[in-house]
Amino acid sequence: MGYPHPSHPKETVLLSKHFGDPEARGYAGWVKRGGYEGLRKALGMTREAIVEEVKASGLRGRGGAGFPTGLKWSFMPKEVVKPHYLVCNADESEPGTFKDREIMRWTPHALIEGCAIAAYAIGAQRCYIYIRGEFTEPWAVMSAAVEEALVNGALGDDVFGSGTRIEMVLHRGAGAYICGEETAMMNSIEGKRGNPRIKPPFPAVAGLFGMPTTINNVETLAAVPHVLTRGAAWYKSLCLGNPKSTGTKLVSVCGHIQRPGNYEVTMGTPIRDILYDMCGGPPPGRTFKAVIPGGSSVPIMTIAEAESALFDYEGVVEKGSMLGSAGMIVMDDSTDMVYQIWRLARFYAHESCAQCTQCREGTAWTTKVLERILAGKGKQEDYQLLLDLSENMTGKTICVLSDSCAAPVVSGIQKFRPEFEAYIAGSREPALAAV
Amino acid sequence: MSTHGGHGAGTAIAPHEPVFVGPTRARLEQLFSKYPTKQACLLPALWMVQEARGWVSEQAIGEVAEALGLTPAYVKGVVTFYTMYHTHPVGRHFIQVCTTSPCNICGAEDVVSALLEATGCGDLGATSPDGRFTVIEVECLGACGFATPILVDDDFIENVTPEKVPGILQRYA
């Protein structure tokens, strides 16, 4: 289902099939819909066999980086000599992205089952699910579901009589975008400020509490039971474009569009189909101008670029951006691109953990320069200043938050320069008061 | 204490009633078994303080530090990193409005104006004279397809428009 809209024939509903169905939230309702079959099957397999199956499926991380999931799991030590941990990243905060929220609200047991399979596969007895503090409803739904799973033996000291112990702990964030970065998340769980850590060591070597740890996104984990029940070959066959991108992907569509919401498509679906067929095109009387395809941290695409792109990891890169988290922000011809790029820069300046100089200073400085341009005080030199700042914010810091701030700025100047020019030349009314 | 400035001096100097007693103490101790260190219970403990008192005072920071074997300075460093912990008292109902780009292009700034006017708060972060509301702007609430989402206390409300504001506020005495 393209929640909150009915399913579209061009969708492939796997994870979203039961969105909006309150009965699917409960344990009994979930089992009736085929739930926990994947976990039962997994418990009868060796850990290595599960990792191989997930590797063979081609499943890649759905949080933004697109790293192969099975490969990530295989980095964990084979022998469990000290505690292993699984961390589920449910800190969904990337502007434009709201898919994990729906997975937790409507199909909490899909996530619990995926977590349990992953925990077993990597030799972890405990899984922490880090849910952002603002997600009050998903928190309540997940809390109830974990209790129910425990009562029904899907979690606990002896999962489904297999002798396997899996404990699930929900951990509530407290308002910090950066905690969605995996090493910042581990620090946050440890009771620290959410500053990202330098890698190496990688989490599989020394992660949460210094122990071997795997961190996976909600959507990635929710896809795992399907790989187990229907097999890697079947999952891999869900592919319309590049064979490196397999399965289905939830795409969150928002902004200037007729039917915003979550849609689920087979990898390789043309973005045009999503924008027009599923979402109904632009609001009446308007035309599309730009699309940010993967959450706010990826380069902005012109509508022409977006319309010609296939929706998968490679297809979006080919047209100059990234699939990221597949949070698609759509902007029509009424949008002031300079103002929105400023608003995004302000977001990153607000969310910088302030650990690295390039990010702490760069995001704030970028915001101020854009403010100046919007106030009608911009100068011709400001283009180069913004590009220089962006250059110094890319690939030079512990995490990629400052790179993410640079992406919309650089692509915005490249693709929408006349809009900047109008403010600088004074041919457009200032949008902000001078500071 | 500068962090208490302007928000009811009476509250700031009142003697601190311990939070971690009785059932709340028991809840905290239950948490200890879920983490290998007591320090890891810091975020949950701060949530428990805020749930009980509405905000995290200097004295509460001291109490949390003692319960977890940390220094008050360390705890304060963590409290101030996260935006959801209040370091001063707020209105009876705390309203968070998303104004990040996806909501911004769908009219979030008008929702903010409507809320500031209807609550009587006037300014972002200020509490209304009747002590009923505090309104703040927040970054992405993760419900961009349902612009504009607002969070009133723990109630997540989607698709808010300026027109819907008065009706929503009526639900909160």
CATH number, position B57:
1.10.10.1590
Our count of domains for chain B comes to 2
B12 falls in which pLDDT band (50, 70, 90)? Answer: low
The answer on A159 and A180 residing in a single domain is yes
CATH of the domain at A320: 3.10.20.600
Between A1-5, A225-229, A266-270, A307-311, the lowest mean confidence (pLDDT) is in A1-5
B5 pLDDT more than 90? no
- Give pLDDT, residue B1: 35
Is the pTM value of this prediction over 0.90? yes
Residue of chain B with shortest Cα separation from A193: B78
* Mean pLDDT value of segment A106-121: 98
Our count of domains for chain A comes to 3
B8 pLDDT more than 70? no
In a domain, A183, yes or no: yes
CATH of the domain at B118: 3.40.30.10
In a domain, A198, yes or no: yes
A1 falls in which pLDDT band (50, 70, 90)? Answer: low
Contacts with B139 from chain A: Cβ below 8 Å: 93, 95, 177, 347, 350-351
The answer on B68 and B102 residing in a single domain is no
- Give pLDDT, residue B15: 81
What would the pLDDT profile of B100-122 be if each residue is shown by its tens digit?
A: 999 999 999 999 999 999 999 99
CATH of the domain at A102: 3.40.50.11540
The answer on A344 and A327 residing in a single domain is no
In a domain, B117, yes or no: yes
The answer on A181 and A275 residing in a single domain is no
Residue A128 region by backbone torsions, left for phi larger than 0, else alpha for psi between -120 and 50, else beta: beta
**A343/B140 Cβ within 8 A:** no
The answer on A253 and A184 residing in a single domain is no
In a domain, A43, yes or no: yes
What would the pLDDT profile of A230-277 be if each residue is shown by its tens digit?
A: 999 999 999 999 999 999 999 999 999 999 999 999 999 999 999 999
The answer on A255 and A164 residing in a single domain is no
The answer on B99 and B134 residing in a single domain is yes
**A191/B78 Cβ within 8 A:** yes
In a domain, B88, yes or no: no
The answer on A203 and A128 residing in a single domain is yes
- Looking at A208, A237, A266, the residue that finishes a domain is A237
The answer on B121 and B60 residing in a single domain is no
Give the structural domain span for B21.
2-79
What would the pLDDT profile of A285-326 be if each residue is shown by its tens digit?
A: 999 999 999 999 999 999 999 999 999 999 999 999 999 999
- Looking at A237, A270, A305, the residue that finishes a domain is A237
Compute the mean pLDDT over every residue in chain B, rounded to the nearest whole number: 93
B11 pLDDT more than 60? no
The answer on B73 and B10 residing in a single domain is yes
* Mean pLDDT value of segment B150-160: 97
In a domain, B87, yes or no: no
A432 falls in which pLDDT band (50, 70, 90)? Answer: very high
- Give pLDDT, residue B2: 38
In a domain, B84, yes or no: no
The dihedral through the CA atoms of A341, A342, A344, A349 has a sign that is: positive
The answer on A184 and A93 residing in a single domain is yes
Give yes or no for a contact between A399 and A181, defined as CB atoms under 8 angstroms apart. yes
In a domain, B86, yes or no: no
- Give pLDDT, residue B13: 60
- Looking at B53, B79, B105, the residue that finishes a domain is B79
The answer on A365 and A232 residing in a single domain is no
ipTM of the complex: 0.95
Contacts with A343 from chain B: Cβ below 8 Å: 99-101, 104
B10 pLDDT more than 70? no
The answer on A386 and A281 residing in a single domain is no
Give the structural domain span for A47.
34-237
B4 pLDDT more than 90? no
Contacts with B146 from chain A: Cβ below 8 Å: 98, 260
Q: Does A298 contact B at CB distance below 8 Å?
A: no
* Mean pLDDT value of segment A382-405: 97
Please tell me the distance in Å from A355's CA to the nearest CA on chain B: 12
Please tell me the distance in Å from A333's CA to the nearest CA on chain B: 11
What would the pLDDT profile of A7-24 be if each residue is shown by its tens digit?
A: 999 999 999 999 999 999
In a domain, A24, yes or no: no
The dihedral through the CA atoms of A330, A334, A339, A343 has a sign that is: negative
In percent, the amount of chain A with pLDDT more than 90 equals 98
The answer on A268 and A353 residing in a single domain is no
- Give pLDDT, residue A24: 96
The answer on B65 and B15 residing in a single domain is yes
The answer on B18 and B65 residing in a single domain is yes
In percent, the amount of chain B with pLDDT more than 90 equals 90
In a domain, A12, yes or no: no
B9 pLDDT more than 60? no
CATH of the domain at A412: 1.20.1440.230
- Give pLDDT, residue B7: 47
* Mean pLDDT value of segment A151-180: 98
The answer on A346 and A326 residing in a single domain is no
B16 falls in which pLDDT band (50, 70, 90)? Answer: confident
The answer on B106 and B44 residing in a single domain is no
The answer on A196 and A84 residing in a single domain is yes
In a domain, B85, yes or no: no
- Looking at A237, A267, A284, the residue that finishes a domain is A237
* Mean pLDDT value of segment A170-195: 98
**B84/A343 Cβ within 8 A:** no
Compute the mean pLDDT over every residue in chain A, rounded to the nearest whole number: 97
- Give pLDDT, residue A188: 98
In a domain, A216, yes or no: yes
In a domain, A17, yes or no: no
**A190/B39 Cβ within 8 A:** yes
What would the pLDDT profile of A34-49 be if each residue is shown by its tens digit?
A: 999 999 999 999 999 9
Would you tell me how many other CB atoms lie within 10 Å of the CB of residue A18? Answer: 21
In a domain, A16, yes or no: no
